[in-house]
């Protein structure tokens, strides 16, 4: 009993309501009538629909809240961004980047006993801060990691029902790279600086050649290869640099990121070229030049397209609807004691 009282005092001093269910909840000021009312709301919604509260718009970007059934075929889900419905909500989805510098931006009112919180994050540890103040608050994770409670990759491949033919766009240029964050000393910058000594690379971005989004795919599709260099080396962290920038442009991705073995959990081995396959940047450059003069060798990097297609979910609403689906399928109440420990275990 003393231990429970101490825990409750600690959580309230930190400004948080506990995420652990206890029989006696009147310590936080919640009455028995309130608990009964919350329970009735929870049971009612579980029988009909879950109310999911978008606690903060991700990166301030709004999105439609009525698409779960009509667009994604997920029934029994109602999304809202109305914080006045906090006590009624069955779950909150909280986008970490938007709350990570201000712990008081998390809910401060007593937490309804039935309510679950979903930690939503698509950024690597390099970007993420202040994971420590999430201890014992969240019940589910939603990230790009495959072992998340709700898996939200940047992209994936789907098997076609039958093989199909395809046409590779005409290529007149060799290697392109679009980079927005230029951190001198970062591994991808260092590798590029070495690689460009042996092979010409056209670089686009804030500090390089200008390229508008309207012209992006038309421009990059002229290149045979695209440098899909990630800014972080982290388990399952394979971003739009590959799924969109390279694949949607029909350029063969040259990847720098997590291991080849990790990439091959999600892609055929001949869908990409990995920098780790070569002893040096010069060896990679020599191989790209070789493929530039070997049409058949180059085309083998597209053979997978006869069997698979690339699928990407581009709207925020799809993630929130998938969170609702997962909540409906996993009704058991769990508590993540340390999001930080779980998330950082994938760091290399």
pLDDT tens digits, one per residue of 99-155 = 999 999 999 999 999 999 999 999 999 899 999 999 999 999 999 999 999 999 999
Q: Alpha-carbon distance 114 to 87, whole Å?
A: 10
Q: Alpha-carbon distance 110 to 186, whole Å?
A: 44
Element (H, E) at 280: none
> Is residue 123 annotated as a catalytic residue, yes or no?
yes
Contact between 277 and 260 (Cβ < 8 Å) = yes
The CATH number corresponding to 157-311 among 3.40.50.11660, 3.40.50.970, 3.40.640.10, 3.10.290.10 equals 3.40.50.11660
Record the pTM: 0.83
Please provide the distance, in angstroms rounded to a whole number, between the alpha carbons at the two ends of the chain.
41
> For residue 32, what pLDDT is reported?
39
> For residue 36, what pLDDT is reported?
38
Q: Alpha-carbon distance 147 to 73, whole Å?
A: 24
3-state SS assignment for residue 287: helix
Compute CA distances 332 → 21, 224, 242, 320, 326, whole Å: 12, 49, 36, 19, 11
What's the pLDDT band for 47 if we cut at 50, 70, 90?
A: low
> For residue 346, what pLDDT is reported?
55
From 21, 47, 61, 123, the catalytic residue: 123
What are the residue boundaries of the structural domains of the chain, listed by start? 2-152+315-344, 157-311
> For residue 313, what pLDDT is reported?
80
Contact between 122 and 144 (Cβ < 8 Å) = yes
Element (H, E) at 116: strand 116-120
């Amino acid at each position: 009993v003393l231990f429970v009282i101490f825990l409750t005092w600690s959580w309230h001093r930190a400004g948080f309501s506990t995420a652990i269910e206890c029989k006696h909840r009147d310590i936080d000021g919640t009455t028995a009538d309130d608990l009964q009312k919350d329970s009735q709301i929870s049971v009612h919604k579980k029988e009909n629909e879950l109310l999911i509260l978008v606690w903060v718009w991700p990166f301030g970007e709004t999105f439609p809240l009525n698409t779960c059934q009509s667009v994604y075929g997920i029934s029994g889900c109602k999304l809202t961004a109305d914080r006045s419905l906090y006590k009624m909500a069955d779950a909150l989805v909280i986008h970490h980047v938007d709350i990570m510098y201000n712990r008081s931006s998390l809910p401060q009112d007593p937490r309804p006993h039935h309510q679950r919180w979903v930690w939503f994050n698509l950024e690597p540890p390099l970007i993420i801060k202040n994971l420590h103040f999430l201890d014992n608050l969240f019940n589910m994770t939603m990230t790009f990691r495959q072992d998340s409670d709700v898996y939200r990759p940047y992209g994936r491949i789907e098997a076609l029902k039958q093989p199909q033919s395809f046409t590779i766009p005409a290529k007149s240029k060799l290697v392109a790279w679009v980079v927005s964050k230029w951190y001198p000393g970062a591994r991808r910058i260092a590798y590029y600086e070495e690689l460009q000594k042996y092979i010409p690379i056209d670089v686009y971005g804030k500090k390089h050649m200008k390229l508008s989004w309207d012209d992006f795919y038309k421009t990059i599709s002229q290149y045979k290869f695209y440098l899909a260099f990630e800014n972080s080396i982290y388990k399952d962290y394979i971003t739009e640099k590959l799924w969109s920038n390279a694949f949607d442009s029909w350029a063969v991705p040259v990847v720098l990121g997590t291991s080849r073995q990790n990439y091959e959990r999600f892609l055929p081995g001949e869908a990409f070229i990995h920098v780790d396959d070569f002893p040096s940047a010069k060896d990679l450059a020599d191989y790209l030049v070789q493929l530039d003069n070997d049409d058949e060798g180059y085309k083998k990097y597209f053979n997978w397209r006869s069997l698979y297609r690339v699928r990407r979910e581009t709207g925020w609403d799809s993630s929130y609807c998938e969170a609702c689906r997962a909540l409906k399928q996993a009704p058991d109440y769990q508590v993540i004691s340390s999001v930080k420990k779980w998330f950082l275990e994938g760091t290399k």
